[in-house]
Amino acid sequence: MPGAYRPGMDLRHLRYFIGVVDAGSMVLASRRLHVSQPTLSRQIRDLEKEFSVRLFDRVGRKLNLTVEGRDLVARSRHLIAEAEALTARSAVLGGNTAGVLRVGAPPQFIEAAMPGVLHAYRHAHPTVQVQLSEDGGRSLLTRVEQGELHLAIGMLSDLGPLASRLLYPLRVLAVMSRGHPLAARRGLTIDDLAHEPLLILASGFQTRQLFEEACKDRQPDLHIVLESRSPQSLIALAAAGHGIAIVPSVVPLPRSRVAIVGLVHQGRPLGSWGRVFWHPQRYLAPYGEAFIDTLVRYMMRSYPGHALRVTRGVERPAF
């Protein structure tokens, strides 16, 4: 299918197309985009006519991207990102300090650190609108690569073409009731957890990935009783004596009601370092660079989980 932008095509068509893809349905997309459903449907039909392809397979009210649709949405995200970068650069050259900065981060980081970071940033940059997006894992990396996000925060180490700066250490923790037989230990290995009822985060969380990598050879011996997307649910069950919760050090912990023990793998604390990452080949406005600097300074004095001594043993990467 044609991959280039056509002079007769309006960028609005591409924005609406991306909006429908992200929403998953015309009804929800029309609400998010504040346009009527008939108008939105007409814009999508015009786009399909322009490229002479079908973009969606329609199954009832559900929309599934065709092969051509998947190709176009990737190209559309790139084109929209480049157009927005050009607009931002022109505004800066014209002396305009206002703008929009799109930042993605896991929900635990948003809860634990983002309020303080935003307070510090907005004091110096009151005219910049920071749009937060909750996500995690490699999805954040993909959205930065595609230009959907200017910046993202995560625990990824393989960032491909993206640039990054280190922010804070994260330790994988075992949280249990204070009366648990393992509560007094200074560290726990995967072997120590064999046959214990485990409460773990669902697939997609970086903590889950770190845990699985550490116990590749012990999966049959592990007794997982619950997988959840809510760390607080796991912690509540662990505090009540229903198992050991495997959670990251960034989540708030009821330290008076639970025992917290850091996991150890191959003699080292099991964990990683959080990073802020961006695409070095895309224009990042000065207020975006300032946000990175604010993040780094804030993390130096108050990163998520800084009150836990167990986080301080996580080895800092060389870069």
Enter the pTM of the model. Answer: 0.73
Query: Pick from 112, 142, 145: which is nearest to 252 by CA?
Result: 112
| 232, 240 contact by CB (below 8 A) | no
Place of tokens 């929900």: 107
Residue 250 CB-half CA count within 13 A? 26
- Token digits of residue 190: 């995967």
Joined tokens for residue 158: 């393989």
Domains of the chain from N-terminus onward: 11-85 (1.10.10.10)
CB 36 within 8 A of CB 30: yes
Q: Please list the pLDDT of the chain residue by residue as tens digits (319 residues).
A: 444 445 455 788 888 888 888 888 888 888 878 888 888 888 888 888 888 888 888 777 778 888 888 888 888 877 777 777 777 667 666 666 668 899 999 888 999 899 999 999 999 999 999 999 988 777 888 888 888 899 999 887 777 889 999 999 999 999 999 999 999 999 999 999 988 999 999 887 888 888 988 888 666 578 999 999 899 999 999 999 999 999 999 998 998 999 999 999 999 999 999 999 999 988 888 899 999 999 999 999 888 888 888 888 888 887 6
CA of residue 260 relative to chain centroid, distance: 25
Q: Report the 10 Å Cβ neighbour count for 291.
A: 26
The answer to whether 223 and 196 have CB atoms below 8 angstroms apart is yes
**What are the CA-CA distances from residue 174 to residues 200, 265, 310 (Å)?**
10, 13, 11
For 172, 280, 319, the CA distances from 300, given in Å and listed in that order, are 20, 24, 16
